[in-house]
Structure 1
Amino acid sequence: MTWTPTVDRALAVAARAHEGQTRKDDPTPYIAHPVAVAMIVSDFTEDEDVVVAAILHDVLEDVPPSVYSAEDMTAEFGERVTEMVRGVSEEKTAGEETPPWRVRKEGYLSQLAEDSQECLLISAADKIHNLRSMAVAHDRQGEAMWGLFNAGPAEKLWFYGAIADTVSERLGDCAASRELRRAVDDVASLAPGA
């Protein structure tokens, strides 16, 4: 990931927006996740807007619009970045009642099937980091790791496998699709009864 003033601004916005949030598997400040996703996506593209959208990818989904809205993002980073972030965001708004897990995931998959290649790269990087984090959490906590999530192992693996299938179908055999499939297979090998 190459530092630029725009990347620096995106890091500052994400750090403020996710202030006080932590990851599910440990007390790591949440900002570590968007930074990791941006680092992973930068292995797949040099497009600065994609890296910036990767840094901001959870802001619209997890932060109330009163803190930072799509309009704020567009004013600061442009419509292209905002559209990429929208493309990888689930249908929920922080602070509002969210639809059930399966409904949100099916909506995400439907959207991903129509999204841009840039959104597919961000989604792949996001899921690669989530899956790698799950493997690390499993090393620390064993089977108890599965209890951290809103869905069981079969559902989680269905979702990640479906994303890997979509990325492979739409992007073909590329670094992103290979890394995502490897991460899915690694976590699948940790599932109970695997």
Structure 2
Amino acid sequence: MSLTWTPTIDRALAVAARGHAGQTRKDDPTPYIAHPVAVAMIVSDFTDDQDVAVAALLHDVLEDVPPSVYSADDMTAEFGERVTEFVRGVSEDKTAGEETPPWRVRKEGYLAALAEDSEECLLISAADKIHNLRSMVAAHERLGDDMWGIFNAGPQEKLWFYSSIADAVTERLGDCAASRELRRAVDDVAALAP
């Protein structure tokens, strides 16, 4: 299994690139589009379902792009309801009320949703977190313990969240490539915690 170019993958990449234009990763000036591309590449190690790869490319669009720019309806019209449901399944609720909910509240909501999500959503979530964790290791190599100051939560909170996702993926999907790779990535970051 590997990410294979198709016209649909190409369209999804274009939508993600436009939606994340001007955005960068937290830990360095890398254009944000590198993250969804990496997530799609990682998830393609776990499944050959094109809808899952497309949703991986688009996984942060509904969360980070204003609906006036690209909405769930736009996504459904362009990629179908299945892709949109996968993206919804891995999106945090940042729009509840007038303010973004606090970090812990968002993460608890994400974990609660993950417990009910499809296996496809679990694979996308695992790939997303694997890339985030690998990026944290790379940032730690550059910045040392200063890396932890980049985030909205401290090391123990971050590790609680990622460990909880690894537990959910393992519980739901069993001992599989995604659960093993995610657990390995969590352990790598746990070894760096001060």
Length-normalised TM-score, structure 1: 0.97
Corresponding position of 1:141: 143
SS at match of 1:150: coil
Aligned residues: 191
SS at match of 1:76: helix
SS at match of 2:109: helix
Q: Deviations over 1:39-78 (max 9, x none)?
A: 0000000000000000000000011101100000000000
Corresponding position of 1:176: 178
Paired amino acid for 2:177: A
Q: Kindly indicate whether residue 25 of structure 2 is the aligned counterpart of residue 23 of structure 1.
A: yes
Corresponding position of 2:57: 55
Length-normalised TM-score, structure 2: 0.97
Greater than 2 Å deviation, 4+ residue runs: none
Unaligned segments of structure 2, at least 5 residues: none
Corresponding position of 2:48: 46
Q: Residues 76-95 of structure 1: matches in 2 within 5 Å?
A: 76-93=78-95
The CA distance in 1 between the partners of 2:145 and 2:69, in whole Å, is 36
Identical pairs, percent: 86
* Structure 2 residue corresponding to 1:111, chosen from 89, 113, 121: 113
The CA distance in 2 between the partners of 1:187 and 1:16, in whole Å, is 31
Q: Following TM superposition, by how much is the alpha carbon of 1:92 offset from its aligned partner in structure 2, in angstroms?
A: 1.1
The CA distance in 2 between the partners of 1:175 and 1:74, in whole Å, is 30
Q: Following TM superposition, by how much is the alpha carbon of 1:15 offset from its aligned partner in structure 2, in angstroms?
A: 0.1
Unaligned segments of structure 1, at least 5 residues: none
Corresponding position of 2:164: 162
The CA distance in 1 between the partners of 2:123 and 2:33, in whole Å, is 19
Corresponding position of 2:13: 11
The CA distance in 2 between the partners of 1:67 and 1:140, in whole Å, is 35
Q: Deviations over 1:115-161 (max 9, x none)?
A: 00000000000000000000000000000000000000000000000
The CA distance in 2 between the partners of 1:52 and 1:148, in whole Å, is 29
